[in-house]
Each structure stands twice: as C-alpha cells, then as structure tokens.
C-alpha cells in the first residue's frame, strides 16, 4: 500500500480508537436530534470524526463548505438530489445539470420544501467566520424547517464561529474536540512513523520534538512525520528537525491564510 494511503488509513483507525469517549458523546447528540456547535483547532480531526459517525445516521445531510448562503443551499440541493429526494427529483428529472442552472432563489425554495417537516440533521462543516447571511440561513433551517444543525468551526470564538455563535448561546450547545493527551499523542506519533517506514538515528529525538511542536494535534503530527520522509530533510541518516519545522510552519500559515 502507498505510504500516504497507509498513514491515512492508520489515522482513521487511530481516531476511532483514540476518540472513543468523544465519539460516544457525539453519537448521543446526534441521536437526541439537537443543534450544537462542534469546535476544535485545525487538524484535530473534526471532519474525520464526523465522517466516522454520520453513516450510522442516514438522515444526516453534509455540507462541506459554507462560505455563502448560495453555497450552503447548493450543497444541500445536490445532496438531496443524489439521495433521490422526490422534491429535487421532480424538479430536476434530468439530473444535476438542470439543478446547476437554477437560480439561488429557486435552489433555496426547493431545499426548504424538501426539508420542511423532515427528520434530517444538517452538518455545516468548515465554517470560517460565517457572515450574518450564513447565520440567518442556518437559523431559518433550524426554526422554520425544524432542522437540527451541527455547526463546525475552529473555535467557539467570534473570529472563527462568526455570527453562527449566537445560535448556540448555552455552553451545553457547544462541544469541544481537543488535541490528544500526551500518551495518546506519543502512541499516535510512533504509529505514524511506523506506517511511513520512517527510520533515522535521531528518530526518538525527532518524535519528541514533533510532540512538542504539535501540542498533541494529530493532523500536525501526521504532517510533520510525512514531511520527514522527504530526502531534503535527511543528512547522514539524521532528520534535519529545524528546517522541517520551519517549512511545516510556513505551509501551515499559508494554508490558514488562504482558508480565511
């Protein structure tokens, strides 16, 4: 198996194992059919954990990117059409092309008709400082259509959750997914290194630094260990830790700036 694919498979398994308590709590929230805000730093595994839980709840609708109301409703319309919902199927008997040609107002109307009185639950993932308009649309779905919403952001602060934050004023309506504890992070890092086939004379020291740099963030651990397999970070069978970390931080800052 390709080492990257192997690492991703192992990552998924580790989240299932390392997140058993969080998984159980989230499953209870899904079963209760209540809205809540799921938050945690980038790389902590929010999307991965949700993707492991959602298949057990066939009524879940997943919207991956929600930068604008139009993006939200188009995501939902395509998901409902793919699932064969009669409202979308009747409106677009020839498939996705006619749906894509419809106006934003038409799309919103179809989605609201489809969701009204339904038993669906919406996951609105990757919210990055959502606007008043996005928050208003989520509120409309929650109130007018009685659709519970799982809003997903990097933190429960205004700079990440944006105006969606007001939809979840109570602490019980917020669920924090945190970085791994030190022992879980160490086991995870060792498993990542093994999956990547990483060998070096200073491997123990490198893994110690990875744990320090990552603060137990699983995504950061995986990325740094994968970077360490690149020849440019090797010299005399030693991993060049400082250059690797600098490149990792630069890439991280760049990706976060682009996401915002």
Q: For the chain, give every domain's residue range.
A: 20-176, 179-254
- Over residues 87-110, the mean pLDDT reads 95
Is-contact 107 73, C-beta < 8 A? yes
Q: How confident is the model at residue 260 (pLDDT cuts 50, 70, 90)?
A: low
How far is 248 from 150, CA to CA, in rounded Å?
31
**pLDDT grade for 253, boundaries at 50, 70 and 90:** confident
Residue 205 has pLDDT above 70, yes or no: yes
Sign of the CA dihedral 177, 183, 184, 186? positive
The residue-averaged pLDDT of 253-260 equals 64
pLDDT confidence tier of residue 3, bands split at 50, 70 and 90: very low
Q: What is the pTM of this model?
A: 0.89
d(CA 70, CA 183) in angstroms, rounded, equals 43
Out of 3.40.50, 1.10.640, 3.30.70, 2.40.128, select the CATH number for domain 20-176. 3.40.50
Query: Is the predicted pLDDT of residue 141 greater than 90, yes or no?
Result: yes
170: exposed, middle or buried (Cβ count in 10 Å: 0-12, 13-18, 19+): exposed
Query: To the nearest whole percent, how much of the chain has pLDDT over 90?
Result: 86
How high is the pLDDT of residue 254?
72
Whose tokens are 């308590």? That residue is: 21
Distance of alpha carbon 148 from alpha carbon 55, whole angstroms: 17
pLDDT of residue 105: 96
- Average pLDDT score over residue span 130-143: 96
Say how far apart CA 20 and CA 25 lie, in whole Å: 9
- Tally Cβ neighbours within 10 Å of residue 39: 24
């Amino acid at each position: 198996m390709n080492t990257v694919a192997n690492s991703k498979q192992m990552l998924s398994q580790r989240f299932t194992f390392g997140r058993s308590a969080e998984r159980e709590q989230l499953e209870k929230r899904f079963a209760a059919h209540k809205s809540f805000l799921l938050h945690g730093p980038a790389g902590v595994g929010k999307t991965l954990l949700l993707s492991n839980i959602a298949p057990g709840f066939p009524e879940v609708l997943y919207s991956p990117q929600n930068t604008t109301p139009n993006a939200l409703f188009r995501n939902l319309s395509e998901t409902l059409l793919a699932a064969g919902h009669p409202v979308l199927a009747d409106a677009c008997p020839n498939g996705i092309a006619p749906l894509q040609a419809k106006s934003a107002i038409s799309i919103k109307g179809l989605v609201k008709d489809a969701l009204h009185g339904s038993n669906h639950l919406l996951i609105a993932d990757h919210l990055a400082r959502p606007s008043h308009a996005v928050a208003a649309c989520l509120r409309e779905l929650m109130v007018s259509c009685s659709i519970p919403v799982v809003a997903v952001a990097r933190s429960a602060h205004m700079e990440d959750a944006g105006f969606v934050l007001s939809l979840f004023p109570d602490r019980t309506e917020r669920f924090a997914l945190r970085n791994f504890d030190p022992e879980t992070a160490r086991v995870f890092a060792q498993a990542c290194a093994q999956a990547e086939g990483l060998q070096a004379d200073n491997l123990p020291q490198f893994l110690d630094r990875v744990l320090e740099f990552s603060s137990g963030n699983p995504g950061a651990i995986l990325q740094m260990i994968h970077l360490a397999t690149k020849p440019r970070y090797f010299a005399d069978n030693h991993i060049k830790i400082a250059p690797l970390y600098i490149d990792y931080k630069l890439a991280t800052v760049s990706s976060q700036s682009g996401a915002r």
